[in-house]
């Protein structure tokens, strides 16, 4: 299934198939519509997305999602869902939320350096300004370097990383994040954020966490992080399937689902 999310009221919708992000936006009462993979509307939205090169002049969906997470981080968490699938999605979303919040704390403790005009960061453009909040600033920079994300629901114990002894956990959801080589957050900040995530394990219906990384990708110079959450009580039996959920990939001169250039977010008829 494909989903369109009206994450920003005066901009074109985002298209995604990442279930836990959809789950969160529904919890937050945003406009979310569901479509078949072969939907003509989705094809048209993606065509316009590429044509307008929206990934070059607006934040990615994951960055917009993270911004909403930081905005709501002091809110009372919603009651945990009852349905097994929703409970699993809720734990996966909360796991990544906790990592995003931990990165924001690192930004507050060690504010990121100012961006200069010659900096290669993806967020230096005037039309995508960085926020004044140092924590959110660091989060948006960090996610701007995200190269790859993979979500594996219901991974069996045989897939757990080496050295992780969890005999009481049979099934866990895994999020793998790979970042391109960058300077922020630093290796130490990433490690500190993962440590903070592990400390929140099991609190407030989160499920038990375990983490792996940060690990250098020697060929690319990037960093790989693995986040795991116990969902043994959310699955009915077999489990073990893998879902590949990378961010949308486009050519260098393409963008997110496009709407004519210079249209100020309005769909061209």
Domain map of the chain by residue range?
2-234
Chain mean pLDDT for the chain: 77
Task: Read off the pLDDT of residues 96-108 as tens digits, 9 standing for 90 and up.
Answer: 999 999 999 999 9
Judged against a pLDDT cut of 50, whether residue 19 lies above it is answered with yes
Look at 121 and 109; give whichever has higher pLDDT. 109
Q: Flag the least confident range among 30-34, 182-186, 226-230.
A: 182-186
Q: What is the DSSP secondary structure assignment for residue 125, as one 8-state letter?
A: S
The answer to whether 161 touches 219, Cβ cutoff 8 Å, is: no
Judged against a pLDDT cut of 50, whether residue 171 lies above it is answered with yes
Q: Percentage of the chain surpassing pLDDT 70?
A: 75
Q: Rounded to the nearest 5°, which phi and psi values hold at 194?
A: -65, -40
> To which residue do tokens 């060690």 refer?
110
Q: Using CB atoms within 10 Å of the CB of residue 53, give its burial: 0 to 12 exposed, 13 to 18 middle, 19+ buried.
A: middle
pLDDT value at residue 96: 94
What is the C-alpha separation between 12 and 8, in angstroms, rounded?
A: 8
Task: Read off the pLDDT of residues 176-203 as tens digits, 9 standing for 90 and up.
Answer: 998 887 666 788 888 899 999 988 887 6
What is the C-alpha separation between 186 and 179, in angstroms, rounded?
A: 12
pLDDT value at residue 30: 93
Q: Flag the least confident range among 19-28, 115-124, 140-149.
A: 115-124
Mean pLDDT of 101-121: 76
pLDDT value at residue 220: 66
Q: CA-based diameter of the chain, in Å?
A: 58
Look at 162 and 159; give whichever has higher pLDDT. 159
pLDDT value at residue 18: 92
Tokens of 161: 């990383």
pLDDT value at residue 262: 38
Residues 6+ apart with CB under 8 A from 70: 100, 101, 104, 133, 135, 136, 139
Other CB atoms within a 10 A radius of the CB of residue 38 amount to 8
pLDDT value at residue 4: 92
What is the C-alpha separation between 168 and 204, in angstroms, rounded?
A: 19
Confidence band, pLDDT 50/70/90 cuts, at residue 261: very low
Whole-model pTM?
0.79
pLDDT value at residue 192: 92
């Amino acid at each position: 299934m494909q989903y369109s999310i009206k994450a920003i009221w005066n901009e074109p919708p985002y298209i995604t198939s990442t279930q836990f992000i959809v789950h969160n936006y529904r919890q937050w009462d945003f406009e979310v519509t569901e479509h078949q993979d072969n939907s003509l509307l989705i094809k048209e939205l993606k065509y316009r997305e590429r044509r307008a090169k929206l990934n070059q002049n607006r934040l990615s969906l994951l960055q917009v999602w993270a911004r909403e997470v930081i905005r709501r981080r002091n809110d009372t968490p919603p009651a945990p869902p009852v349905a097994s699938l929703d409970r699993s999605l809720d734990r996966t979303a909360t796991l990544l939320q906790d990592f995003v919040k931990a990165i924001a704390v690192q930004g507050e403790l060690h504010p990121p350096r100012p961006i200069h005009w010659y900096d290669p960061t993806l967020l230096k453009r005037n039309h995508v300004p960085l926020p004044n909040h140092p924590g959110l600033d660091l989060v948006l920079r960090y996610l701007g370097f995200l190269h790859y994300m993979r979500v594996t629901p219901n991974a069996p114990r045989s897939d757990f990383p080496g050295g992780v002894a969890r005999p009481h956990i049979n099934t866990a959801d895994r999020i793998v994040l790979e970042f391109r080589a960058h300077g922020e957050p630093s290796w130490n900040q990433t490690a500190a954020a993962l440590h903070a995530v592990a400390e929140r394990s099991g609190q407030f219906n989160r499920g038990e966490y375990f983490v792996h990384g940060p690990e250098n990708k020697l060929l690319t110079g990037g960093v790989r992080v693995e986040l795991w959450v116990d969902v043994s009580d959310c699955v009915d039996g077999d489990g073990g399937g893998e879902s590949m959920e990378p961010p949308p990939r486009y050519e260098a001169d393409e963008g997110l689902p496009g709407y004519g250039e210079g249209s100020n977010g309005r769909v061209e008829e």
